[in-house]
C-alpha cells in the first residue's frame, strides 16, 4: 500500500461494526459500466460477453472475437489487445482500468484484498447497508499456529466463496492481492501478524494451501493447460522479495535497500514464492517497495522476468506494490530516472500491472519516444486478459452464479472463524493442570483486552459480521466480574489498577487479558522492543500478587513478547497466546479455557528474550550470525541462544508419546562421470567425506525419505498433536542451519489411543544446504531426521552416500 494511504489505511482498519442484521433482499449483479449517453444500461451483468449487454450498448457481440468462446484464451486476449489504441492500452495498465467503451469493455478495479477474510482496504471492495460485513478470520499468524494444511485450504475456500458472492453483488473484484508470504526475518516487523512466521517451509506450505483454497475450481485442480485453468478468484503472493521492514528508527521501507546474500535469498526470502508459483499455481505475484542490493524489486528484470516468469513459469500477472513506482522515482530517485524512464524499465522488467498511476502518466510517452516497445505493453495486457478470462470475467463461471448474500457471514463460515482460532491458540504454561477450568466458577476478567473487539481482527481486516469479545463469551459460561485495570493497550498509568486488584482478590480464578494492538505493531509500525506496552507488566504483577485464586494470563499479539516475568512467576499458573483471534475470538478462548477444545497450537516464531533487540539492528538482513559485528543469528534455524519460548513450542491438556519407524536409513547414489563432487566447508576437527556433496541441479533427486510415526495419547483427554519434522545436517559443516522444518502433520488422537502417521518427503528438498554462493547442495554423511522438539522427540540417522569412480 502506498504512503498516501498510510493514514487512511490505519483509520479503515480501526473502523468496525458491532453487528448487523442480514437483509433478505438480494441486490442484482452489477458491473461498473459507462456513464453518460448510455447511462448504466448494461449494469445488470456479472460478466462482459453477454449478447444482450452488448445490444444495450448498441454493439453487436459477433463483431468482437474476444467474446468468441470457441477461441483459446490466448487468442481472445490477443484479439482484445490488438483492437486498442496506445492510449487505450495505457489506460488499462493500472489498478483502476478505465475500460474501452467502443469495445464494450467495462471499467475494472484490480485491487481487492482477502488476507483473512474479505477486506475493504483496496478500492475494489466496499461494504454498505446491504452488505455491512464479511467473516473476519484470525490474523494469519494465529491460523498458522494451527499447523493444519486442511484448515488453511478450507480458509481459502470459504474466503473465496464470500469474495465471489461479493463480486456477484457488485461489491468486490475477482483479483485479491493476498496472501502475504514474506518470511519474518526479524519479529520487530509490524506486519508479522499478516504472515506465517519465520520458517520458510511453513510460510510456503501456508501459501500453497491458502492459494489453492482461494483459486481452485473443484474438479479442475489438475488441468494441465495452465493458461486455461479456471480460477474461482485470482490470488496474489506478495511482497517479492526480501521485504520485512516497514518503519524502524529512521529506516523506511520505501527507500530501504535490503543488502541480501544470494544464500539467504535462495534459502529463505524467495523460497515461499517459488512454491507459491510452482506448487500453488498462483496467478499473480506482487513486487515489493524496497531495493534489493541496489535495484528496486519492481525494476529488476532478473527477479521478475528471469525468475518468476521464465524459471518458475508463472501463469498470471506481476503487479507492483501500491504507488511503488512513485516510490522508485520520487523517494528512491533511482538512477535519477524520469517517470518515463522508470515506467519503461519496469514494464521491460516484466511488471504487467501498476498499482498507482505512473503507467497512465508516462507509458505513452515512453512508447512514443522509443524507451520501450509497444509490444511489451501488449504482452503485459495479454497476461492481464488471459487471467480475467480464466476467472470468468468475460464468460462467467456457472457454478458460482448463485452465490450471494446468503453466502456472506454464513453460520458455517462464522463457525470456521471460531474453529481456526482455537486450533491456533498456544498453551504456554499450565502449572498443576489449572486449565481447563470447570464451568460455573466465579471468574474475574482483568486487563485492557478482556473486552476486546476490533483488536481481535488485527490489520488487513474488513468489517466483521459480529464480534464476540472474551467478556461476552465468558459471561455466557461463568459468573464474571470485569475490571479493566487499563483502558487500552498503551496502559499509560495505574489509575484503574486498584479496581482490578479488588476484583481479583476474592475471585475463584482471575484471567488477565493483555497484549498489543495496531498502535504497537502494524503496517508502517515496527517495534523497538519485545516488551508489553506501558504498565501492563506492572498490572499483571500487582493483580497476581493479591489474587487468592489461580491467575491465568491471556496474551493477544501478532508476534513474540518477552513474558519471562510471568513464565517464572509461580502465582501465574497458566499462559495462553491467542494471536489476534478474529471476530469469534472470545468464543475460541473460552472453548480452550473451559476445555471444550484441547489446545494444540505451536509458536510460528521464536519468542526471544528482550535484550535480543539490542544485539543487532533490524536492518541487517543476514539470517546467520555475523561474528565480526557480534550479531547473533535469526530464527530457530540460526539463533542458538536462550529464548523465552522456542519456535514450535506449545503444550496440550494431554501428553503424547512418539515411536518412529524409518523405512530406510541410507540413500546410496551412483554418480556418473558428469556428476561432480563439490566441496563443503567442515570445521577443523571434523573430517569431510571423500565426496562431500553434489549439486541438486546435477541429480535426478527422486529419492524420498519415508517413515512412520506412531503417536500415542498417554493422557486422559482427547487431543490433536502437531508432528513437526526437522532435518539436521551432518555435524561439522560450517555456516549451515542448526535444523530446518521439512514437514509437519496435525493428527487427532483420542485419549489412550495410538494413531500412525506416514511421512514421505523428497530427499533433495529436505536435506539440502545452500552454500555461501547460492548453490543448493545435497551433502553426504549422516543427517538426522527428528520428529518433535527438545522436550519430546524421536529421531533417526539417515546416511547419504555417493558412489563414484
Ligand X SMILES: *[C@@H]1O[C@H](CO)[C@@H](O)[C@H](O)[C@H]1NC(C)=O
Q: Which residues bind ligand X (CB under 6 A)?
A: 28, 40-41, 43-44, 148, 150-151, 154, 219, 221-222, 336, 364-365, 368, 419, 433, 451, 453, 469, 471, 479, 482, 487, 492-493, 495, 625, 627, 640, 653-655, 715, 720, 746-748
Cell numbers representing residue 152 in the block: 488453511
Identity of the residue, 367 or 800, whose beta carbon is nearer to ligand X in the bound complex: 367
Q: How many CB atoms lie within 10 A of CB 134?
A: 30
Q: Output the 3-class SS for 295-309.
A: EEHHHCCHHHHHHHH
Cell numbers representing residue 215 in the block: 483459486
What letter would DSSP give residue 447?
S
| C-alpha–C-alpha distance, residues 122 and 219, integer Å | 31
* 732 contacts 757 by C-beta, under 8 angstroms: no
Q: CB 361 → ligand X: shortest distance, Å?
A: 6
Identity of the residue, 364 or 510, whose beta carbon is nearer to ligand X in the bound complex: 364
Identity of the residue, 482 or 707, whose beta carbon is nearer to ligand X in the bound complex: 482
Query: Per-residue DSSP letters for 241-273?
Result: TT---SEETTEETTT-EE---HHHIIIIISHHH
Could you tell me which of 633, 637, 636 has the C-alpha nearest to residue 616? 633
| C-alpha–C-alpha distance, residues 672 and 685, integer Å | 31
Sequence-ordered list of residues with C-beta below 8 angstroms from that of 8, at least 6 positions apart, any chain? none
Identity of the residue, 336 or 690, whose beta carbon is nearer to ligand X in the bound complex: 336
Cell numbers representing residue 309 in the block: 516468469
* 715 contacts 663 by C-beta, under 8 angstroms: no
**Residue 388 CA neighbour count, 13 Å, CB half:** 29
| C-alpha–C-alpha distance, residues 668 and 642, integer Å | 38
Identity of the residue, 122 or 515, whose beta carbon is nearer to ligand X in the bound complex: 515
Q: CB 586 → ligand X: shortest distance, Å?
A: 10
Could you tell me which of 233, 388, 252, 223 has the C-alpha nearest to residue 327? 252
| Torsion (CA) 80, 86, 89, 93 in degrees, nearest 10 | 150
Determine the 3-state secondary structure of 16 from DSSP: coil
| C-alpha–C-alpha distance, residues 171 and 177, integer Å | 16
| C-alpha–C-alpha distance, residues 564 and 448, integer Å | 20
Q: CB 794 → ligand X: shortest distance, Å?
A: 16
Q: CB 155 → ligand X: shortest distance, Å?
A: 8
| C-alpha–C-alpha distance, residues 82 and 87, integer Å | 12
Q: CB 417 → ligand X: shortest distance, Å?
A: 11
Sequence-ordered list of residues with C-beta below 8 angstroms from that of 13, at least 6 positions apart, any chain? 121, 459, 460, 461, 518, 522
Q: CB 44 → ligand X: shortest distance, Å?
A: 4
Q: CB 240 → ligand X: shortest distance, Å?
A: 27
Identity of the residue, 122 or 579, whose beta carbon is nearer to ligand X in the bound complex: 579
Identity of the residue, 451 or 782, whose beta carbon is nearer to ligand X in the bound complex: 451
Identity of the residue, 151 or 764, whose beta carbon is nearer to ligand X in the bound complex: 151
**Residue 397 CA neighbour count, 13 Å, CB half:** 26
Cell numbers representing residue 783 in the block: 543427517
Q: CB 695 → ligand X: shortest distance, Å?
A: 27
Determine the 3-state secondary structure of 397 from DSSP: coil
Residue ranges of the alpha helices (H) in 526-568? 536-546, 564-567
Could you tell me which of 593, 594, 525, 600 has the C-alpha nearest to residue 559? 525
Identity of the residue, 11 or 674, whose beta carbon is nearer to ligand X in the bound complex: 11
Q: CB 402 → ligand X: shortest distance, Å?
A: 16
Q: CB 365 → ligand X: shortest distance, Å?
A: 4
591 is catalytic: no
Q: Which of 186, 321, 341, 591 is catalytic?
A: 321
Residue ranges of the alpha helices (H) in 391-469? 411-424
Identity of the residue, 292 or 747, whose beta carbon is nearer to ligand X in the bound complex: 747
Angle between helices 374-390 and 73-82 (to 10 degrees): 130
Widest Cα–Cα separation across the chain: 83
Could you tell me which of 154, 143, 244 has the C-alpha nearest to residue 202? 143
Q: CB 148 → ligand X: shortest distance, Å?
A: 4
Catalytic positions? 321
Amino acid at each position: 500500500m502506498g504512503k498516501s494511504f498510510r493514514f487512511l489505511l490505519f483509520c479503515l482498519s480501526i473502523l468496525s461494526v458491532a453487528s448487523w442484521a442480514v437483509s433478505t433482499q438480494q441486490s442484482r449483479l452489477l458491473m461498473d459500466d459507462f456513464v453518460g449517453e448510455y447511462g448504466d444500461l448494461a449494469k445488470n451483468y456479472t460478466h462482459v460477453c453477454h449478447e444482450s449487454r452488448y445490444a444495450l450498448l448498441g454493439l453487436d457481440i459477433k463483431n468482437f472475437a474476444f467474446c468468441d468462446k470457441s477461441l483459446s484464451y490466448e487468442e481472445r486476449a490477443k484479439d482484445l489487445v490488438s483492437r486498442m489504441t496506445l492510449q487505450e492500452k495505457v489506460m488499462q495498465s493500472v489498478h483502476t482500468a478505465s475500460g474501452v467503451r467502443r469495445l464494450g469493455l467495462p471499467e475494472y478495479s484490480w485491487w481487492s484484498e482477502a488476507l483473512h477474510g474479505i477486506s475493504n482496504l483496496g478500492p475494489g471492495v466496499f461494504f454498505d447497508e446491504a452488505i455491512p460485513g464479511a467473516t473476519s478470520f484470525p490474523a494469519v499468524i494465529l491460523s498458522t499456529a494451527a499447523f493444519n494444511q486442511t484448515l488453511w485450504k478450507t480458509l481459502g475456500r470459504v474466503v473465496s466463496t464470500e469474495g465471489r458472492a461479493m463480486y456477484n453483488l457488485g461489491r468486490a473484484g475477482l483479483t485479491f492481492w493476498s496472501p502475504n508470504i514474506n518470511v519474518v526475518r526479524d519479529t520487530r516487523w509490524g506486519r508479522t501478524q499478516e504472515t506465517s512466521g519465520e520458517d520458510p517451509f511453513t510460510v510456503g506450505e501456508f501459501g500453497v494451501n491458502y492459494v489453492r483454497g482461494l483459486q481452485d475450481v473443484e474438479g479442475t485442480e489438475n488441468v494441465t493447460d495452465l493458461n486455461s485453468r479456471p480460477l474461482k478468484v485470482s490470488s496474489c503472493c506478495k511482497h517479492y522479495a526480501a521485504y520485512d521492514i516497514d518503519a524502524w528508527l529512521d529506516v523506511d521501507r520505501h527507500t530501504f535497500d535490503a543488502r541480501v546474500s544470494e544464500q539467504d535469498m535462495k534459502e529463505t526470502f524467495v523460497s515461499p514464492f517459488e512454491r507459491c508459483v510452482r506448487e500453488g499455481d498462483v496467478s499473480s505475484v506482487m513486487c515489493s517497495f524496497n531495493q534489493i542490493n541496489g535495484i528496486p524489486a519492481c525494476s529488476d528484470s532478473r527477479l521478475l522476468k528471469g525468475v518468476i516468469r521464465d524459471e518458475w513459469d508463472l501463469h498470471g500477472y506481476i503487479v507492483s506494490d501500491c504507488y511503488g513506482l512513485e516510490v522508485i522515482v520520487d523517494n528512491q530517485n533511482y538512477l535519477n530516472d524520469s517517470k518515463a524512464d522508470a515506467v519503461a524499465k519496469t514494464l521491460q522488467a516484466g511488471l504487467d500491472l501498476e498499482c498507482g498511476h505512473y503507467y497512465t502518466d508516462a507509458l505513452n510517452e515512453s512508447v512514443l519516444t522509443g524507451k520501450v516497445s509497444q509490444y511489451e505493453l501488449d504482452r503485459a495486457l495479454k497476461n492481464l486478459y488471459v487471467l480475467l478470462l480464466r476467472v470468468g470475467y468475460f464468460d462467467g463461471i456457472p457454478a458460482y452464479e448463485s452465490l450471494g448474500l446468503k453466502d456472506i457471514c454464513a453460520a458455517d463460515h462464522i463457525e470456521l472463524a471460531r474453529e481456526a482460532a482455537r486450533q491456533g491458540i498456544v498453551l504456554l504454561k499450565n502449572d498443576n493442570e489449572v486449565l481447563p477450568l470447570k464451568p460455573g466458577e466465579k471468574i474475574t476478567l482483568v486487563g485492557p483486552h478482556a473486552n476486546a473487539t476490533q483488536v481481535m481482527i488485527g490489520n488487513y481486516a474488513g468489517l466483521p459480521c459480529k464480534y464476540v469479545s472474551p467478556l461476552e463469551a465468558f459471561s455466557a459460561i461463568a459468573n464474571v466480574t470485569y475490571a479493566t485495570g487499563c483502558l487500552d493497550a498503551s496502559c499509560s498509568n495505574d489509575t484503574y489498577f486498584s479496581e482490578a486488584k479488588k476484583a481479583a482478590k476474592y475471585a475463584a480464578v482471575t484471567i488477565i487479558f493483555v497484549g498489543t494492538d495496531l498502535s504497537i505493531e502494524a503496517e508502517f509500525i515496527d517495534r523497538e522492543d519485545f516488551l508489553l506496552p506501558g504498565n501492563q507488566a506492572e498490572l499483571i504483577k500487582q493483580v497476581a500478587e493479591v489474587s487468592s485464586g489461580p491467575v491465568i494470563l491471556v496474551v493477544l499479539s501478532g508476534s513474540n513478547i518477552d513474558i519471562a516475568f510471568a513464565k517464572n512467576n509461580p502465582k501465574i499458573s497458566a499462559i495462553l497466546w491467542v494471536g489476534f483471534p478474529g471476530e469469534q475470538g472470545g468464543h475460541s478462548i473460552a472453548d480452550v479455557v473451559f476445555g471444550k477444545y484441547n489446545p494444540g497450537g505451536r509458536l510460528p516464531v521464536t519468542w526471544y528474550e528482550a535484550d535480543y533487540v539490542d544485539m543487532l539492528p533490524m536492518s541487517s538482513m543476514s539470517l546467520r550470525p555475523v561474528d565480526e559485528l557480534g550479531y547473533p543469528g535469526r530464527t530457530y534455524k540460526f539463533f542458538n541462544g536462550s529464548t523465552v519460548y522456542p519456535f514450535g513450542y506449545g503444550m496440550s491438556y494431554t501428553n503424547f508419546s512418539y515411536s518412529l519407524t524409518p523405512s530406510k536409513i541410507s540413500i546410496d547414489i551412483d554418480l556418473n562421470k558428469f556428476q561432480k563432487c563439490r566441496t563443503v566447508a567442515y570445521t577443523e576437527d571434523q573430517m569431510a567425506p571423500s565426496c562431500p556433496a553434489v549439486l541438486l541441479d546435477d541429480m535426478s533427486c527422486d529419492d524420498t525419505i519415508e517413515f512412520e510415526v506412531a503417536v500415542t495419547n498417554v493422557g486422559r483427554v482427547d487431543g490433536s498433536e502437531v508432528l513437526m519434522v526437522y532435518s539436521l545436517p551432518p555435524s561439522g559443516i560450517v555456516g549451515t542451519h542448526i535444523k530446518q522444518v521439512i514437514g509437519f502433520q496435525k493428527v487427532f488422537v483420542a485419549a489412550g489411543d495410538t494413531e500412525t502417521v506416514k511421512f514421505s518427503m523428497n530427499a533433495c528438498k529436505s536435506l539440502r544446504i545452500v552454500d555461501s554462493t547460492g548453490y543448493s547442495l545435497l551433502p553426504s554423511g549422516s543427517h538426522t531426521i527428528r520428529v518433535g522438539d527438545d522436550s519430546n522427540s524421536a529421531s533417526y540417522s539417515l546416511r547419504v552416500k555417493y558412489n563414484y569412480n
